[in-house]
Amino acid sequence: MKSYDGRVNAVDGISLEIDKGEFLTLLGPSGSGKTTTLMMIAGFEEPSSGVIELGGEDLTRRKPYERNIGVVFQNYALFPHMTVERNVAFPLRMRAFPRSQQAERVREILDLVGLRRFADKHPRELSGGQQQRVALARGLVFNPDVLLLDEPLGALDKNLREQMQVELKRIHREVGITMVYVTHDQTEAMTMSDRIAVFSHGTLEQTAPPLEVYHRPRSRFVGEFIGDSNFFTGRVDSGAPGHVELDGVGPIEADADACRRLAGAPVDVLVRPERLQLVGDSELLANRLAVKIGVIVNYGDSVLIIGDAGRQRIRIRIAGAQPDAVREGATVMVAWKAGDEHLIARS
């Protein structure tokens, strides 16, 4: 737990166990507690209560330099007067790494991040992506037990960010180091992580592999924060097995096991936009909605349709080109298969 004023908890009751060699992402909106959690692991913030352990060893009261943990920041934090080589060597000098081995170790790590030919350059002579690689090399050079990364790609443009995502995954595989990565970018979290820990208002909503978080979110917040979503409210019909009565829509067929587990309970029903299909009158999908199209967004490889089914806002994602029948103002029939939805118990 962490409180700055003794009244409000910036981080409240977080319990996380991270496996050796895992890539764990702390994901959440600004102010959700993810960076504070990272800074407590690093030693830059002290928990108000609780402990931080690494390999069974209590680090809670240790200074940052007493922990074998590397940190990479969004703003790179490079020394402008030092060359790339000296920037990367700095942690080795601070840790009294054998002087005779420093140059070789720096060369190894610059090879790993693809910057050996830039060893004599200064940070101002490098692009943003290259500076980020220097910061990454500096975080890895002393063989830390854990590497912490605080929104390290936030300052890069889209193409560079995607390139660095691929590079980080490659380095993670090659080095086998435990990485804890903070971001508010759900795409980064989905594409890079072994597991995602979703934060909201200082609490941990769910920790699970990316596809589980996406397809089976534990709460409505997680379902809305990760990916595009359609949410309905309703109640599982205990008198009609496998059915849910949706508010303002009517009965639908749903996953039978989920309905048995939540019989009679009020639920939020999540249907991802890509699960909705355009259907004709003769097609026999049970869960059907007439949607009046309001806006069409064409992404080239897919089309996002935003419309209304009564008072319910609906989002539909269709792979490929825009179908001829889809135009703004038209009414289309959409449907989904029972089991393509996900039921979340409402408290």
Give the residue extent of every domain in the chain. 2-220, 228-345
Contact (Cβ atoms closer than 8 angstroms) between residue 315 and residue 304: yes
**Per-residue pLDDT tens for 193-242?**
999 999 999 999 999 999 999 999 999 999 999 999 999 999 999 988 99
- pLDDT value, residue 158: 87
Which DSSP category does 87 fall into? H
| 2-220: CATH topology | Rossmann fold (3.40.50)
Q: Would the CATH topology of 2-220 be identical to that of 228-345? A: no
CATH superfamily entry for domain 228-345? Nucleic acid-binding proteins (2.40.50.140)
By DSSP bridging, strand 230-236 and strand 203-208 are unpaired
Asked if 65 and 94 count as a contact pair (C-beta separation under 8 A), the reply is: yes
Angle at 239 between CA 237 and CA 240, to 5 degrees: 70
Amino acid letter for position 108: E
Residues 6+ apart with CB under 8 A from 306: 293, 294, 295, 296, 297, 313, 314, 315, 316
Residues facing 245 on adjacent strands: 235, 251
pTM: 0.93
In a 10 Å sphere around its CB, with 0-12 CB exposed, 13-18 middle and 19+ buried, how is residue 289 labelled? buried
Q: What is the pLDDT of residues 117-134, one digit of tens each?
A: 999 999 999 998 999 999
Q: Average pLDDT of the chain?
A: 94
The pLDDT of residue 343 is: 98
Burial class (CB in 10 A: 0-12, 13-18, 19+), 197: buried
Q: What is the DSSP letter of 323?
A: P
* Cα distance between residue 249 and residue 273, in whole Å: 17
Question: What distance in Å separates the CA atoms of residue 102 and residue 141, rounded to the nearest whole number?
Answer: 9
